[in-house]
Structure 1
Amino acid sequence: MGQTIASGAPQALSKDWTPVRVTNPNGAGPCIILCDHASNYVPVDFGTLGLRDNDLQKHIAWDPGALGVSAVMSRLLDAPLVESCVSRLIIDCNRPLDAPDLVPSLSEVTVIPANENLGDAARRERVELSHKPYHAAIEKLVRERRAAGLPEPVFVAVHTYTPVYRGVERPWHIGIIHDADDRVAAPLIAGLQAAGRYEVGINEPYSPADRVYYTLERHASAHGLPAVMIEIRNDLVATAQEEKGWGELLSGLLNDITKGPSMGIAGTANKGI
Structure 2
Amino acid sequence: MTAAPVEVLNPDGTGRVVILCEHASRRIPQHYGDLGLKPSDRDSHAAWDPGARDLALALSRALDAPVVAATVSRLVYDCNRPPDAASAMPTKSELIQVPGNADLTQSDRDARTRAVYDPFCVAVNSVLDARGPDTIVVTVHSFTPTYFGQPRAVELGLLHDTDSRLVDTMLAHADRIPQRHVARNEPYGPADGVTHSLCLHALSRGLANVMLEVRNDLLRTPDEIADRAQEILMLLEPALTDIAVREDQT
TM norm structure 2:
0.95
Q: CA deviation at 1:262?
A: 5.4
Q: Which moved more, 1:230-239 or 1:189-198?
A: 189-198
1:224-252: per-residue Cα shift (whole Å, max 9, x none)?
A: 11000010000010111111111122234
Equivalent position of 2:85 in the other structure: 99
Q: Which of 206, 209, 212 in structure 1 is aligned with 2:188?
A: 206
What is the Cα deviation at residue 260 of structure 1?
A: 2.1
1:167-182 equivalences under 5 Å are: 167-182=149-164
| Partner deviation per Cα, 1:96-134 (whole Å, 9 max, x = no partner) | 122111100111111111100110000000000010000
Alpha-carbon separation, structure 2, partners of 1:52 and 1:209: 30
- Measure how far apart 1:201 and its partner are: 2.1
Which residue type is aligned with residue 115 of structure 2? Answer: L
Task: Give the one of 22, 26, 45 matched to 1:40.
Answer: 26
Measure, in 1, the Cα distance between the counterparts of 2:147 and 2:222. Answer: 24
After superposition, the Cα gap between the structure-2 partners of 1:265 and 1:27, relative to the gap in structure 1 and judged at 3 Å, is: farther
Alpha-carbon distance between aligned partners in 2 of 1:158 and 1:263, rounded to the nearest angstrom: 25
Q: In structure 2, what is the Cα distance between the partners aligned to 1:242 and 1:31?
A: 22
In structure 2, what is the equivalent of residue 137 of structure 1?
123
Question: Does 2:40 match 1:54?
Answer: yes
Number of equivalences: 250
Q: Secondary structure of 2:25's match?
A: coil
SS in 2 for 1:231: strand
2:70 to 69, 84, 90: 84
In 2, Cα distance between equivalents of 1:244 and 1:258: 20
1:217 to 199, 202, 211: 199
Query: What secondary structure sits across from 2:88 in the alignment?
Result: coil
- CA 91–263 in structure 1, closer or farther in 2 if over 3 Å, else same: farther
* Structure with the higher helix share, 1 or 2: 2
The correspondence of residues 112-127 of structure 1 with structure 2, limited to 5 A, is 112-127=98-113
Shift of residue 264, structure 1, vs aligned partner: 5.6
| Percent of aligned pairs with the same amino acid | 38
- Counterpart of 1:166 (choices 119, 144, 148) is 148
